[in-house]
């Protein structure tokens, strides 16, 4: 009988509570604060969400109707003051169902009804006596159904969102472009509008690290034409960025948003710069062909986790695409015997030694490689085991790092077509697309798929007004 747990069984079997989330969808407004190293706050402290930049507010695209606005003004130490002048002001002329019986001084979450104009019907709410500190990694309901989320970062970055749990199909809408309240918000001589991860929740965005570079630019000619000739009416660009694994000792990799999905672009070698800090580029080291984008393909990132979990003998770590990693046993020397199953069939058998003396990250990491598209021996699955325990009654290990990318690659070589868009160019860290030979006329009441999952919709109105969106299903 031998134990390999440094602090014994009692320390290892601390219950690892993990909440089982109800499937829900965030309808996110535009991101405020420090974005791409620049502040987008008005006069250094204020940001306003309205029906055009927050799909959680009522908006009639056809008639350009919708009056809700929510303004947040930050004072010292990132606070939304509960004293005058208040940090949160919400106003609307539309008597929503939630406000149908509103009276002065009634409270709605953190807000209270400050005034009601009986002639115009305008209602104003504020956060009197409810100061809110925008500390990092915070999620606060400010009024029924409307939340504010801050980044897990010392740099202030935040957005409001509405949580949707009703089953069915829902839109993730980008900012509305065109004629809004009688004014055009298109820029330049050629009437241009740009969507990015900060104003379109359908693009990949990591608020904690301000990661996400997808942009889609619409340039109109002749009033409502998105030309299929150069310079093109639709252009899309995305750039790979460095991101740490959630299990940080593995180092970092290149992430890229593509068609709204979080994708893997390549493993990085962290050995020279971070080895002394305990970082090891395990997945870079074991992959024969580690750079996906250089091979003109991407893989969707399926799992990137660092939550600890106990795995008993005979149990498995559940993965995606039909995979699971089964703990078959632990030897008296502390070696862990693992089987990887795909759709119930064993595809790999391996031993690792997480509890040996001075074990490295390599010793503690199970990995699985396979040929993926044009890449040879790419590590697509990795599971890190922190420690093991074995006695007469228990055989178990703690897994505290999980990584998986799809075994089905997405091709991104030049001239690949995705609906109305085609890939114009690919470099080692970027992809550019356009709508060459696919001119689009934005007639009223049109709904057109631009590229997989991303569509453009116009108002049923002679005045041009439009937005891009993608749909998500809540089950």
pLDDT band at residue 419, thresholds of 50, 70 and 90?
Answer: very high
| pLDDT score at 274 | 43
| pLDDT score at 270 | 76
The answer, yes or no, to whether residue 278 has pLDDT greater than 60, is no
* Backbone angle region of 192, left / alpha / beta, with phi > 0 → left and psi within -120 to 50 → alpha: beta
| pLDDT score at 271 | 61
Q: What percent of the chain has pLDDT over 70?
A: 93
Please compute the mean of the pLDDT values over residues 62-88 and round it to a whole number: 95
pLDDT band at residue 334, thresholds of 50, 70 and 90?
Answer: confident
Lowest mean pLDDT among 153-157, 277-281, 309-313: 277-281
| pLDDT score at 140 | 96
The answer, yes or no, to whether residue 22 has pLDDT greater than 60, is no
* Distance (Å) of CA 338 to CA 12, 40, 335, 345, 366: 20, 50, 10, 13, 8
Mean pLDDT rounded to a whole number for the chain: 91
Q: What contacts 205, CB < 8 A, 6 or more positions away?
A: 31, 197, 198, 211, 212, 257
| pLDDT score at 470 | 94
The whole-angstrom separation of Cα 156 and Cα 22 is 28
| pLDDT score at 4 | 38
Domain boundaries, the chain: 239-411
Higher pLDDT, 52 or 277: 52
Instruction: Give 194-237 pLDDT, tens digit per residue.
Output: 999 999 999 999 999 999 999 999 999 999 999 999 999 999 99
CB environment 141-163: b (16+ within 10 A), e (fewer): ebbeebbbbbbeeeebbbbbbbe
| pLDDT score at 23 | 67
| pLDDT score at 65 | 95
Instruction: Give 369-407 pLDDT, tens digit per residue.
Output: 999 999 999 999 999 999 998 888 889 999 999 999 999
DSSP string, 101-163: T--TT-EETTEEEEEE-TTT--EEEE-TT--EE--TT-EEEEETTEEEEE-SSSS-EEEEEEE
The whole-angstrom separation of Cα 211 and Cα 253 is 13
* Tokens 């064993």 belong to residue: 346
| pLDDT score at 3 | 38
| pLDDT score at 390 | 87
Higher pLDDT, 173 or 121: 173
| pLDDT score at 185 | 95
Catalogue the E-assigned strands of 198-258: 215-219, 225-226, 234-239, 241-244, 252-258
The answer, yes or no, to whether residue 357 has pLDDT greater than 80, is yes
What's this model's pTM, rounded to 2 decimal places? 0.89
Lowest mean pLDDT among 12-21, 247-256, 384-393: 12-21
Instruction: Give 437-451 pLDDT, tens digit per residue.
Output: 999 999 999 999 999
| pLDDT score at 95 | 72
The answer, yes or no, to whether residue 11 has pLDDT greater than 60, is no
pLDDT band at residue 337, thresholds of 50, 70 and 90?
Answer: very high
Architecture of domain 239-411: Sandwich (2.60)
Strand, helix or coil for residue 278: coil
């Amino acid at each position: 009988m031998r134990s390999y747990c440094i602090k014994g069984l009692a320390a290892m079997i601390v219950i690892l509570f993990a909440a089982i989330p109800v499937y829900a969808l965030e309808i996110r407004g535009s991101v405020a604060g420090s974005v791409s190293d620049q502040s987008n706050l008005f006069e250094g402290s204020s940001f306003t969400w309205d029906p055009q930049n927050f799909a959680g507010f009522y908006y009639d695209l056809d008639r350009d109707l919708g009056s809700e606005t929510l303004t947040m003004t930050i004072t010292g130490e990132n606070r939304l003051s509960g004293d005058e002048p208040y940090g949160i002001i919400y106003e609307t002329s539309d008597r929503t169902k939630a406000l149908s019986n509103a009276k002065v001084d009634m409270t709605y979450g953190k807000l209270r009804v400050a005034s009601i104009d009986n002639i115009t019907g305008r209602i104003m709410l504020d956060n009197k006596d409810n100061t809110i500190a925008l500390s990092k990694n915070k999620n606060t309901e400010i009024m029924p159904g409307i939340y504010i989320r801050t980044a897990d970062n010392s740099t202030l970055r935040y957005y409001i969102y509405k949580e949707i749990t009703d089953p069915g199909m829902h839109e993730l809408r980008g900012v509305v472009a065109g004629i809004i309240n009688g004014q055009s918000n298109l820029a330049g001589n050629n009437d241009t509008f740009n969507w990015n991860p900060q104003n379109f929740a359908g693009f990949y965005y990591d608020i904690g690290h301000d990661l996400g570079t997808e942009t889609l630019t619409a340039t109109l000619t002749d009033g409502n034409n998105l030309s299929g000739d150069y310079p093109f009416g639709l252009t899309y660009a995305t750039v790979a960025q460095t991101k740490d694994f959630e299990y940080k000792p593995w180092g970092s990799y290149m992430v890229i948003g593509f068609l709204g999905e979080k994708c893997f672009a390549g493993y990085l070698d962290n050995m020279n710069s971070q080895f002394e800090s305990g970082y090891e580029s395990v997945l870079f080291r074991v992959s024969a062909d580690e750079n996906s984008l250089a091979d003109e393909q991407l893989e969707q990132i399926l799992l990137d986790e660092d939550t600890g979990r106990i795995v008993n003998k005979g149990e498995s770590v559940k993965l995606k695409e039909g995979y699971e990693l089964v703990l078959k046993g632990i030897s008296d020397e502390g070696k862990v015997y693992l089987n990887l199953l795909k759709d119930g069939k064993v595809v790999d058998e391996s031993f690792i030694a997480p509890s040996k003396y001075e074990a490295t990250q390599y010793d503690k990491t199970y990995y699985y490689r396979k040929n993926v598209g044009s890449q040879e021996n790419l590590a697509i699955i990795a599971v890190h085991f922190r420690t093991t325990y074995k006695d007469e009654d228990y055989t178990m290990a703690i897994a505290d790092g999980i990584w998986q990318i799809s075994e089905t690659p997405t091709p991104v070589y030049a001239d690949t077509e995705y609906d109305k868009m085609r890939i114009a160019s690919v470099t080692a860290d970027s992809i550019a697309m356009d709508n060459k030979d696919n001119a689009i006329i934005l007639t009223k009441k049109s709904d057109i798929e631009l590229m997989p999952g991303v569509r453009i919709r116009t108002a049923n109105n002679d005045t041009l007004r439009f937005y891009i969106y993608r749909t998500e299903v809540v089950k």
